[in-house]
Amino acid sequence: MAKRIEFSVTGGPDVLNYVDFTPREPAEHEVLVANKAIGINYIDTYVRSGLYPPPSLPSGLGTEAAGVVEKVGAGVTHIHVGDRVVYAQSALGAYSEYHCVPADNVAKLPNAISFEQAAASFLKGLTVYYLLHMTYKVRPGETIVFHAAAGGVGRIACQWAKALGIKLIATVGSAEKAEQAKRDGAWAVINYRTENIAERVVALTNGEKVNVVYDSVGKSTWLASLDCLKPHGLMISFGNSSGAVTGVDLGILNQKGGLFVTRPSLGNYITTKQLLQHAANELFSMIASGAISVNVPSEQQFPLKDAVRAHKTLESRATSGSCLLIP
């Protein structure tokens, strides 16, 4: 018997239950991982709440963890029992002591990266990689806007942008988070609870505005984000932390200057084992060199059985950087 988090109805954090289960054998091309640290991602709250309904109920939750390979299925040749690995794109069920994952979706961990660092950074770091390098190729010296920049994805984005010589204008929800974003290398910071985002971006760029906005906040920042863009600028809407953007009248893109909009996800970009390996290597070398710090404070590391408390804390906007579940 092992333990995992399961839910039988969608809803608030309290639907999550800590239950006994028997891990299944890995199927062909799968590995069974004994999780040592599990990544909590905001998308997990969308699945739990029903915004992104799970394929079936009862369901497991989570897609990211780091751990040790316990068993390998038939046909797996590049991963072995005992390997230290991390994954971010599993089927739902990573909030668990054990999880079966397609072997092509796991990356071997360099010795320099701990399980906690890996689980804190893999999904979020791969996301920052594709956002800065693939969705829009940001050039050194270019100014960009990145919302919720003291969150899990946001802290990695600030540090990665700094390492690439990008001038990142961070938005955050408190004075403490503003300080965090500055420490992480943001070029400028806007507290969007007290300041007007577009007015500040216009002022910071001497009226020029920016070519690209990275917006994971969604509903509450959508219009302000469009107002930060130069003509023909690109709005990258990649999350719904404040609620989903719905009912958009496309005419607004014309009114605001012939803008472009995209709604990407990790699964659209990191589509092969080769791409995963390349992006993982870039991320691991950023962490190993010290350019990106992903250490998680103890108050944001929750025992697996406390997933309810972890989700409540994440949704309260009290956290900065990544949160973990520890089996």
Ligand X SMILES: NC(=O)c1ccc[n+]([C@@H]2O[C@H](COP(=O)([O-])OP(=O)(O)OC[C@H]3O[C@@H](n4cnc5c(N)ncnc54)[C@H](OP(=O)(O)O)[C@@H]3O)[C@@H](O)[C@H]2O)c1
Beta bridge partners of 150: none
Q: Does 265 bind ligand X (CB under 6 A)?
A: yes
Question: Shortest Cβ distance from residue 219 to ligand X (Å)?
Answer: 8
- In whole angstroms, what is the distance from residue 130 CA to residue 279 CA? 8
From residue 140 to residue 159, the character string flagging contacts with ligand X as x (rule: CB under 6 A) and all else as - is --------x-xxxxx-----
Q: Which two structure tokens, joined as six digits, stand for 35?
A: 């999780």
Closer residue to ligand X (CB): 146 or 284? 146
Q: Name the residue with the smallest CB distance to ligand X.
A: 151
Q: Does 315 bind ligand X (CB under 6 A)?
A: yes
Q: Does 125 bind ligand X (CB under 6 A)?
A: no
Q: Are strands 84-87 and 106-108 parallel, antiparallel or unpaired?
A: antiparallel
Question: Shortest Cβ distance from residue 18 to ligand X (Å)?
Answer: 21
Q: Which two structure tokens, joined as six digits, stand for 117?
A: 């660092």
From residue 270 to residue 309, the character string flagging contacts with ligand X as x (rule: CB under 6 A) and all else as - is ----------------------------------------
From residue 96 to residue 115, the character string flagging contacts with ligand X as x (rule: CB under 6 A) and all else as - is --------------------
Q: How far is CA 70 from the centre of its chain?
A: 26
Identify the three-state secondary structure at position 34: strand
Residue ranges in 73-207 assigned as alpha helix (H): 115-130, 152-163, 175-183, 197-204
Q: In this structure, are residues 217 and 170 in contact, taking their beta carbons and an 8 Å threshold?
A: no
Question: Shortest Cβ distance from residue 39 to ligand X (Å)?
Answer: 8
Question: Shortest Cβ distance from residue 83 to ligand X (Å)?
Answer: 25
Amino acid at 310: A
Q: Which of residues 200-219 bind ligand X (CB under 6 A)?
A: 216-217
Question: Shortest Cβ distance from residue 158 to ligand X (Å)?
Answer: 12
Q: Does 43 bind ligand X (CB under 6 A)?
A: yes
Identify the three-state secondary structure at position 9: coil
Q: In this structure, are residues 29 and 104 in contact, taking their beta carbons and an 8 Å threshold?
A: yes
Stretch that binds ligand X, among 35-43, 50-58, 99-107, 299-307 (CB under 6 A): 35-43
Question: Shortest Cβ distance from residue 151 to ligand X (Å)?
Answer: 2
Degrees, nearest 5: CA angle 263-246-172: 65
- With tokens 């970009």, the residue in question is 269
Stretch that binds ligand X, among 19-27, 56-64, 233-241, 296-304 (CB under 6 A): 233-241
Q: How many C-beta neighbours within 10 Å does residue 316 have?
A: 8
- In whole angstroms, what is the distance from residue 245 CA to residue 88 CA? 25
Tell me which of 23, 67, 93, 173 binds ligand X, using CB under 6 A: 173
Amino acid at 298: S
Contact residues for ligand X (CB under 6 A)?
Answer: 41-43, 123-124, 127, 148, 150-154, 172-174, 177, 216-217, 220, 238-242, 264-266, 315, 317, 319
